[in-house]
Amino acid sequence: MVGNDILSQVPELRPSLARRTARDVIADKLLSLIATGVLGAGDELPSERELATALDVSRETVRGAIQALSARGIVEVSQGSRTRVTNVDLTHIPVTIAAPSAIDSYDLDSVHAARLLIELKVVGDAAERIGETELARLDSSLAAQQVANTDPIRFLICDREFHVTIYRACGNPLLADFVTDLYTYMMEHRRYAMARPGAIAASYADHVAIVEALRARDRAAVVASFRAHLDRIHDTTREMLEGRGG
């Protein structure tokens, strides 16, 4: 019977999920960066050392992830030069729940309103649940962001890790996935917005205030800091869209 056949497969599915390696996780993160436009066709990836610092993993893990993407034709590895993103369109691939092309189909104000409604709830919950492991990861992220203060792409790689770490701390994986999708909105435009003078420094200062509030487990302060950060993202994205005729 069909029902029994499906049920008989469940024990086989669970081990396959358990075998997921750190290399697989990092490969998926790099795939998400390409799908959302942080890394575009022809772009050079940061070095293995820089990626390892941004993603808080070993260089060996990064190397394995790049090799996995290379085998799928998503990046091109050349001896003696930086790895490049191939001319491949991944915008149809879901990052968590929805594909970047689906999120980008909404207008800026609608997405901003959704982030204010849902993301502030998520980070407020994170303020009450966050542990020392997550706080240590955020501290490492801040250190990596300082090093990347002149490189918008490297900064945005760190930025994504920073935000997702906080989202995951809320304790609700579905809400965390949903706000991660909202976070990816118009990421290609934000890449150029972050190249403007002072943009990285302003975002980094927001992040410092957010971590201070999280460490204090001060829900109101976390929500206020995140609201200011989201308003800044909204304003800079609008300026970029208007400047490019969007």
- For the cut 90, the answer to whether the pLDDT of residue 176 exceeds it is yes
pLDDT at residue 20 in the model: 78
Compute φ and ψ for 84, nearest 5 degrees: -120, 150
- Do 51 and 144 meet the contact criterion of CB atoms below 8 Å apart? no
User: 117 burial class (0-12, 13-18, 19+ CB within 10 angstroms)?
Assistant: exposed
- For the cut 90, the answer to whether the pLDDT of residue 241 exceeds it is no
pLDDT in tens, 60-101: 999 999 999 999 999 999 877 889 999 888 888 888 899 899
* Confidence band, pLDDT 50/70/90 cuts, at residue 228: very high
CA angle (64 as vertex; 63, 68 as ends), nearest 5: 120
pLDDT at residue 14 in the model: 41
d(CA 166, CA 211): 9
- For the cut 60, the answer to whether the pLDDT of residue 246 exceeds it is no
Average pLDDT rounded to a whole number, residues 221-243: 92
More confident residue, 91 or 117: 117
Q: Count CB neighbours of 47 within 10 A.
A: 14
d(CA 78, CA 80): 6
- For the cut 50, the answer to whether the pLDDT of residue 6 exceeds it is no
* Confidence band, pLDDT 50/70/90 cuts, at residue 244: low
- For the cut 90, the answer to whether the pLDDT of residue 144 exceeds it is yes
Average pLDDT rounded to a whole number, residues 45-74: 93
Q: Count CB neighbours of 88 within 10 A.
A: 12
pLDDT at residue 7 in the model: 37
Average pLDDT rounded to a whole number, residues 45-72: 93
- Do 42 and 31 meet the contact criterion of CB atoms below 8 Å apart? no
CA angle (211 as vertex; 62, 96 as ends), nearest 5: 50
pLDDT at residue 80 in the model: 75
d(CA 209, CA 75): 36
The pTM for the full model equals 0.85
Average pLDDT rounded to a whole number, residues 155-166: 96
- For the cut 80, the answer to whether the pLDDT of residue 1 exceeds it is no
